[in-house]
């Protein structure tokens, strides 16, 4: 192989590598060291926090035309986020694996329902923006549901402050996580269902007796006969 | 022998090249800056007192201050023999979390007393010795530009030809809140404008007007005076 063909091969390789670089997925991770412990009077409640596998491994994947593919990795930071959040907001807490925890007052189960983001070129603004919607469920100590609510969080980062798209979006994602923490800590005790439960002394929630539940299910089935007929597939 | 001549020739050109580079750095465009202040209450600081300089970020806005400008003002207020103690924005926001996040930060001084009613917040403010909170708004924009320049690279060498000019305008306002009395102490504004040029005859020579830097220095100087003493 002469030197000209070696140069041509190297040039071709360089082009291929740069194209591969452009087409690759950009993976954004949030810095878990930037979640402070909320400074506030703690709520007199001892809660279990249930982080299931879905939230612990949550990754938002999105492909934007002409801008490539993106992955916003939020799962791994949830443990730190909820540790710091719970340290500031609750009198005591621990991580649990089920919705019932007889030695505590109740269990909080957060879920990430939705994530969206936008680039400045999409919105014709100066901002990278990230939206995260958390859903929270609160259970009494025996697993009865106290209430559930949604928490939309928003974070932005000015493109003039950050050199690259990845860093800008990372900063916006971090801001959205901090916004969720801020909003949760200020409003936790004001959520109507939580407020009612706390002021009532954190009682066990009434559960529908199993017999009644069965009767209800039967009634539903009788009142909506069409819903029991399968529209697709086969039954045995 | 030929190599020796080439080395000598290169050595002769080196001081010229250094002079050109030095001249480029020394050249800077003219900037006009104006600083104004409005005082509403008397101010004073002791050696234990500190201030924090923060950018307003409650909503997406065209007038959000650049992070480097906020840093520049904070650094300049702290610098010098007459410098005052400054807490960085990130340190303050983290220390007061969640009360000074974009969605939760107070928008005016009326909201401060309610915030300071919380014993833990009042205690933390005492710990960090915060006396004044300075909110910055405004930014630097390129307002006009004209001219053209083209550069080419050939096997025999390369170069640029043309002339570019652009204008930048900085406009910033600082609102100073007294964290002890929960009242607005006053406002300081800084406006600066300047034109930069870049003539190119083979080599482009940038003559940059440092508009944002001038606005930062002027604003920081005035802020320092404002908070230290005045009635």
ipTM entry: 0.81
pLDDT at A17 over 70: no
pLDDT of B114 above 70: yes
Q: What is the mean pLDDT of residues A215-221?
A: 56
Percent of residues in chain A assigned helix, strand, coil, to nearest 5: 45, 30, 25
pLDDT of residue A210: 60
3-class secondary-structure state, position A137:
strand
Contact B176, B226 (CB under 8 A): yes
CB–CB contact B121 A39 (8 Å): yes
What does the pLDDT read at residue A235? 30
Residue A226 — very low, low, confident or very high, per pLDDT cuts 50/70/90? very low
B103 and A182 in contact by Cβ < 8 A? Answer: yes
Does the pLDDT of residue A47 top 90, yes or no?
Answer: yes
Tell me what pLDDT residue A222 has. 55
Kindly state whether A157 is in contact with chain B, defined as any CB-CB distance less than 8 angstroms: no
- Residue A148: how many other CB atoms lie within 10 Å: 14
Instruction: Report the residue of A39, A84, A89, A175 to disrupt the B interface, i.e. the one with the largest count of B CBs within 10 Å.
Output: A39
B120:A40 CB<8 A: yes
* Residue of A152, A160, A188 to mutate, testing the B interface (most B Cβ within 10 Å of its Cβ): A160
CA–CA dist B149, B163 (Å, integer): 6
Tell me if chain B has a CB within 8 Å of the CB of A25.
no
Residue B131 to chain A, least CA–CA distance (Å): 19
Residue A125: its chain B contacts at CB < 8 A? 60
Q: What angle do CA B164, B169, B175 make, to 5 degrees?
A: 160
pLDDT at B53: 97
Query: What pLDDT, on a 0 to 100 scale, did the predictor assign at position A145?
Result: 96
How far does the CA of residue A71 sit from the closest CA of chain B (Å)?
Answer: 24
Residue A75 predicted with pLDDT over 70: yes
pLDDT at B148: 94
pLDDT for the residue numbered B103: 92
pLDDT band at B59 (very low <50, low <70, confident <90, very high): confident
User: Residue A233: pLDDT above 50?
Assistant: no
**Distance (Å) from the alpha carbon of B5 to chain A's nearest alpha carbon:** 32
What residues of chain B lie within 8 A of the CB of A40, using their CB?
A: 98, 118, 120
Query: What CA–CA distance (Å, rounded) separates A168 from A163?
Result: 7
Per-residue confidence band for B15, with pLDDT thresholds at 50, 70 and 90: low
Residue A67 pairs with which residues in a beta bridge? none
pLDDT in tens, A78-94: 999 999 999 999 999 99
- Contacts A42 to B, Cβ<8 Å: none
Cβ of A213 under 8 Å from any chain B Cβ? no
Residue A19 has pLDDT above 80, yes or no: no
Q: Which pLDDT band, with edges at 50, 70 and 90, does B38 fall under?
A: very high
Average pLDDT for B143-156? 92
pLDDT at B198: 95
Q: How far is A160 from chain B (nearest CA, A)?
A: 7
pLDDT digits (tens, 9 = 90+) for B185-200: 999 999 999 999 999 9
How many CB atoms neighbour CB A235 within 10 A? Answer: 6
CB distance A156–B95 less than 8 Å?
no
Confidence of residue A132 (pLDDT cuts 50, 70, 90): very high
Decide if pLDDT at A3 tops 70.
no
For residue B29, the model assigns a pLDDT of 80
Using a CB–CB cutoff of 8 Å, tell me whether A39 touches chain B: yes
Contact in structure between B26 and B105 (CB atoms under 8 Å): no
* Alpha helices, DSSP H, located in A63-116: 78-89
How many Å apart are CA B38 and CA B40, to the nearest integer?
Answer: 7
Question: How high is the mean pLDDT of chain B?
Answer: 88
pLDDT of A118:
94
Interface contact A158, partner B, CB < 8 A:
yes
Confidence check: pLDDT of B96 > 90: yes
Beta bridge partners of A59: A73
Choose among A131, A139, A149: nearest CA to A202: A139
A87 Cα to chain B: minimum distance (Å): 13
What pLDDT is attached to residue B60?
76
Residue B219 in this model has a pLDDT that exceeds 60: yes
Please compute the mean of the pLDDT values over residues A156-175 and round it to a whole number.
92
Contact list, B103 vs chain A (CB under 8 Å): 154, 179, 182-183
Give the pLDDT mean for A175-202: 97
Question: Burial of A97 by CB count in 10 Å (0-12 exposed, 13-18 middle, 19+ buried)?
Answer: exposed
For chain B, say whether A183 makes contact (Cβ under 8 Å). Answer: yes
For residues A67-74, average pLDDT:
92
Cβ atoms of B161 and B150 closer than 8 Å: yes
Residues A33-50 have a mean pLDDT of 97
- Integer Cα distance of A178 and A176 in angstroms: 5
- Average pLDDT over every residue of B159-166: 95
Q: Following DSSP, what letter does each residue of chain B receive, concatenated?
A: -HHHHHHHHHHHHHHHHHHHHHHHHH-B--EEEEEEEEE-S-EE--TT-EEEEEE--SS--TTPPPHHHHHHHHHHHH-STT--EEE-HHHHHHHTTTTTSTTTS-SSGGGHHHHHTSHHHHHHHHHHTEEEEEEEEEEEEEEEEEEEEEEEEETTEEEEEEEEEEEEEEEEEEEEEETTTTEEEEEEEEEEEEEEEEEEEEEE--BB--HHHHHHHHHHHHHHHHHHEE-
Residue A171: its H or E element: helix A165-187
* Binary contact (B62, A126; C-beta < 8 A): yes
Average pLDDT, chain A: 85
Shortest Cα distance from B36 to chain A (angstroms)? 27
Nearest Cβ partner of A183 from B62, B103, B119? B103
């Amino acid at each position: 192989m002469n030197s000209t063909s070696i140069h041509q091969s190297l040039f071709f390789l360089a082009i291929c590598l740069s194209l591969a670089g452009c087409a690759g997925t950009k993976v954004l991770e949030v810095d878990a060291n930037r979640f402070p412990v909320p400074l506030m009077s703690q709520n007199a409640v001892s809660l279990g926090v249930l982080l299931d596998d879905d939230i612990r491994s949550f990754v938002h994947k999105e492909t934007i035309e002409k801008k490539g593919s993106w992955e916003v990795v939020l799962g791994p930071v949830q443990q730190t986020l909820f540790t710091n959040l719970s340290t500031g907001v609750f009198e005591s807490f621990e991580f649990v694996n089920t919705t019932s925890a007889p030695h505590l007052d109740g269990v909080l189960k957060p879920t990430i329902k939705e994530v969206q983001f936008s680039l400045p070129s999409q919105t014709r603004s100066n901002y990278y923006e990230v939206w995260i919607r958390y859903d929270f469920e609160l259970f009494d100590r025996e697993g009865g549901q106290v209430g559930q609510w949604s928490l939309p969080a928003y974070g932005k980062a000015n493109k003039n402050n950050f050199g690259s798209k990845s860093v800008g979006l990372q900063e916006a994602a971090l801001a959205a996580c901090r916004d969720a923490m801020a909003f949760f800590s200020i409003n936790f005790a004001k959520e109507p269902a939580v407020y009612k439960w706390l002021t009532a002394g954190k009682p066990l929630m009434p559960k529908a007796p199993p017999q009644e539940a069965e009767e209800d299910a039967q009634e539903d089935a009788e009142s909506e006969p069409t819903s029991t007929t399968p529209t697709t597939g086969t039954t045995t | 022998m030929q190599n020796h001549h080439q080395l000598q020739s290169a050595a002769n050109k080196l001081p010229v090249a250094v002079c050109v580079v030095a001249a480029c750095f020394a050249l800077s465009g003219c900037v006009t800056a104006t600083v104004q202040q409005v005082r509403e209450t008397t101010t004073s600081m002791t050696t234990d007192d500190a201030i924090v300089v923060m950018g307003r970020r409650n909503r997406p806005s065209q007038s959000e201050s650049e992070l480097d400008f906020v840093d520049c003002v904070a650094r300049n207020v702290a610098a010098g023999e007459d410098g005052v103690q400054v807490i960085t924005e990130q340190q303050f926001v983290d220390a007061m979390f969640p009360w000074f996040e974009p969605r939760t930060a107070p928008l005016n001084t009326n909201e401060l007393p309610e915030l300071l009613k919380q014993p833990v917040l009042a205690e933390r403010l005492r710990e960090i010795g915060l006396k004044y909170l300075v909110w910055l708004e405004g930014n630097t924009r390129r307002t006009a530009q004209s001219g053209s320049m083209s550069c080419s690279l050939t096997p025999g060498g390369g170069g640029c030809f043309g002339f570019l000019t652009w204008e930048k305008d900085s406009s910033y306002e600082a609102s100073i809140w007294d964290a002890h009395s929960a009242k607005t102490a006053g406002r300081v504004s800084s406006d600066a404008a300047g034109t930069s040029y870049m003539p190119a005859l083979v080599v482009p020579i940038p003559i940059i007007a440092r508009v944002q830097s001038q606005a930062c220095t002027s604003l920081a100087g005035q802020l320092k005076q404002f908070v230290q003493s005045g009635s």
